[in-house]
Amino acid sequence: MKLYELVGRDRINGYSPFVWRSRLALEHKGLDYELVSLRFTEIKEKLSFANSKTVPVLEDKAKAVSDSWEIACYLEDTYPDRPPLFTDRSSAKLFDLQVAMPLLAPLFRTIVSDIYDILDEENQQYFRQTREPRIGCTIEEARDNFEQPFKIFKDNLWPYSQYFKSADFIGGATPVYQDYVLYGMFLWARMTSPKRLLDDGDPLLSWIERMDRLFGGLGGRMKYIG
């Protein structure tokens, strides 16, 4: 089984929040897998077999599955004897969608210049050409004006901070796929940006510490790669 991931100058540490969702799902299921590292400019050619222009892609039993949500569903359906990822698939899908615009979009705008800095020169050019239209400004303008999107991101974290005042995981006593969706976002930021996202005392910090200890401390070993 192979999981294709995204890397920057550092070929070892993949940082994509969507790949992390899939990687943590594989760990949750207790499945063995090999990571295949790709840079932005390598994805189109290397993933042509999967007809995918993005990571993650999971290759399993001569089958290629793209998109983190589809991979989660594939793992759940193909390996039902392993620990379940979902308590309710519909609510997991809703959560997957809810994280996108309220959290991932303003966080990307906040750290986009930091992501640019961890790329090699060729991939910086690709990143600039493809991401500046998305954010509506240059990388440099985003670097100088990140406070407003950062405030939006932090404001939109409020329900999660409130929730973790009385819960260990989104799944209650044990993590579920929604935990991996949210945690993957924080690993993405941790690995690509030196910015501090949370204030002291935020209940999310305790949840992140619990997530950091899962699977032999896999997430906890991830550091800033800039």
Q: Dump pLDDT digits (tens) for 80-99.
A: 999 999 999 999 999 999 99
Neighbours of 67 (CB within 10 A): 18
Q: Kindly state the DSSP code that residue 83 receives in the 8-state scheme.
A: P
The alpha-carbon radius of gyration of the chain (Å, integer) is 17
Rounded to 5 degrees, φ, ψ at 169 are -140, 165
pLDDT band at 210 (very low <50, low <70, confident <90, very high): very high
pLDDT band at 201 (very low <50, low <70, confident <90, very high): very high
Cβ distance 55 to 5 under 8 Å?
yes
Distance, in Å, from the CA atom of 164 to the CA atom of 204, rounded to the nearest integer, reads 6
pLDDT band at 177 (very low <50, low <70, confident <90, very high): very high
Res 97: pLDDT: 96
Distance, in Å, from the CA atom of 165 to the CA atom of 163, rounded to the nearest integer, reads 5
Which residue in the block uniquely carries the two structure tokens 């222009």? 53
Res 36: pLDDT: 98
pTM surpassing 0.75? yes
How large is the average pLDDT for residues 133-139?
98
Res 187: pLDDT: 98
Distance, in Å, from the CA atom of 217 to the CA atom of 211, rounded to the nearest integer, reads 8
Rounded to 5 degrees, φ, ψ at 92 are -65, -40
What proportion of the chain, given as a percentage, has pLDDT over 70? Answer: 100
Helix, strand, coil percent content, the chain, rounded in steps of 5: 60, 10, 30
**pLDDT tens-digit map of 48-70:** 999 999 999 999 989 999 999 99
Res 219: pLDDT: 98
Domains of the chain, earliest start first: 2-78 (3.40.30.10), 89-221 (1.20.1050.10)
What proportion of the chain, given as a percentage, has pLDDT over 90? Answer: 99
